[in-house]
Amino acid sequence: MKEETQGIKEKVEKLFALERSFVSLENEVFKVRDILYFTIENRVVVAIAEGGKKYSLAGDLNSLDRMLHGLFIRTFRLFLVRLDRIVGISTRYPEEPGEDEGETLPGAPGAGGTEAAAEAAAGAAKDEARGTRGFKIREECELHVAGVEETIPVTKTYARRVKKALGISSFHHLVPEHPEDRRMRLLGLINLGWRELVELDAADGAAVAAFRAKWDIRLFSKERMLRYFRMIGEATIDRRRVIMNILWQLACWIKKGIEPLSDGNIRTVWYRRIKVILAYHSGVLEPGDMDTYYNALTAMIEEYKLFKYKDFGFMDVFENLRGVGKKRPEIIFAAEKEGFAFFVKKVAAEVGCSFMCLKGEPAHLSLEYFSDDLHKALGDRPKSIFFAPDIDYAGYSIQSNFVEGLRSRGHTIERAVTLLDLSDFTNEEIEGMRTPIVRYERKDGQDIPIKPASKSSLTKAKAWFEGPMKSEPRLFGKTIASGRTIYAIYGIESDAIENKDVLRQKFLKEIGGR
């Protein structure tokens, strides 16, 4: 009976604790039930709510630990985690040889990667020889918390209390390798000095200088470069991997606040923050590595999605060609050609809607900034796009890529309307304004492109002509010259429309004339 009464008392205390209110240093009020975990950033306690919302607090984690005992669990000196929001546990194993046996937990929260991949396997090999391989690793793991992407480390010091709180006897059964860790390892990326970085105070100049001197890849000797970035099966340095790891390190350090943002110029980062430093210390670069830098940067942002252009502070030189409306930001008026910029801006201002002129295929950097601005203004609200492209397969592709580019960045596109089509021209205008986009002839049942058309452009043009255009006869023609039958698929550039008020009227009609 006494135990039952004690259990009821503990449940009541937890309920009251969940409803307890705090006031942040920014004078924002929040309740304990809103918080997923507490941590330390720049010597200040920070409460992390769902979606990554942060509240700064006075006090320390020790006091919070005592106050919220039973609701939150200490997993690491810098983390206090909500027990009922823990949804998974994983651990990580070292994969590659290295020099530092002391690191056994390979990945900072949310950072991914595997420092242990290059730092701890030597120690693991010794453990294996002694029959104790993985002992330290099995005492450490990472927690997955519902509501945030970051994973929370559990260190050996706190392992016993975490196992007790979760009702498990060991971490032996955990997933051998976290999926994000595997991804980073396959990309050849290493989180060098992750543990020190987590605990580093960005305001402590001496500590930051010491950390950088120890872990800055750009300061490595050739011998140390070879240790971490050796080509598989060769005694040479993988320069692409070096550049990728420098970019990854710079992104992590900028996020931490120990590396300044760039001046906005992508080339300047290469010359000032990579090339000149490597040339002085290890001299590992070779002619043509600037292209390697551009390709690596593009892949890491656009293909692997490891960070964003804006994380480096890279500027969008086409900023004046886009904007988010004040009245109806969910409506996007877009055009393919820069020559439409004045017209599109004017109509957007009239309606109070968003706008963008793409200058051809949408640039990833511009799309990133535009997408983030839309998210900030609208959140998850659906958007509608009204587009004025060239009437050809390239225009169709550009419009599709713009729509998919926003969708891939988390936007719901409710409508995608093409404003400019053949109905905006008379038959005489079409005949006089159309331009051949591909020319070809048929031989033995095969369509053969005529230069400058290529097989690829012919395939795309035919797919557009036979698909969205439904084999529109006014965009097709053939001529006979020197016994050869030449076929052509035509298109019309958006610049051919002189009376742009036609587009304005169509746009206003589509959005309800408001």
23-72 pLDDT, tens digit per residue, is: 999 999 999 989 999 999 888 999 999 878 899 999 899 999 988 888 89
DSSP 301: I
CATH classification of the domain holding 334:
3.40.1360.10
When divided into structural domains, the chain yields a total of 5
Mean pLDDT, to the nearest integer, of 415-420?
94
Residues 459 and 411 in one domain: no
Q: What letter represents residue 311's amino acid? A: D
97 CB burial (10 A radius; 0-12, 13-18, 19+): middle
Report whether pLDDT(6) > 70. Answer: no
Given 42, 63, 85, the domain boundary residue is 85
Same domain, yes or no: 349 and 404: yes
What mean pLDDT is predicted for residues 369-391? 94
Share of the chain above pLDDT 90, in %: 58
Q: What is the CATH number of the domain that holds 10?
A: 2.40.50.1020
What is the pLDDT at residue 178?
Answer: 66
What's CA 201's distance to the chain center, in Å?
A: 26
Strands in 193-251 per DSSP E? none
**501 falls within a domain:** no
Is 502 part of a structural domain of the chain? no
Q: Answer yes or no: do 413 and 471 share one domain.
A: no
| Last residue in a domain, options 264, 282, 307 | 307
323 and 410 share one domain: yes
Question: pTM value?
Answer: 0.65
Section 406-431 average pLDDT: 93
* Amino acid type, 365: L
At residue 66's C-alpha, the angle toward residues 62 and 68, to 5°, is: 110
- Extended strands (E) in 99-168: 141-145, 151-154
Identify the pLDDT of residue 103.
31
Please check the confidence at residue 391 and state whether its pLDDT lies above 80: yes
Tokens 């070809």 -> residue? 440
Mean pLDDT of 126-143: 50
Gap between the Cα atoms of 512 and 509, Å rounded: 5
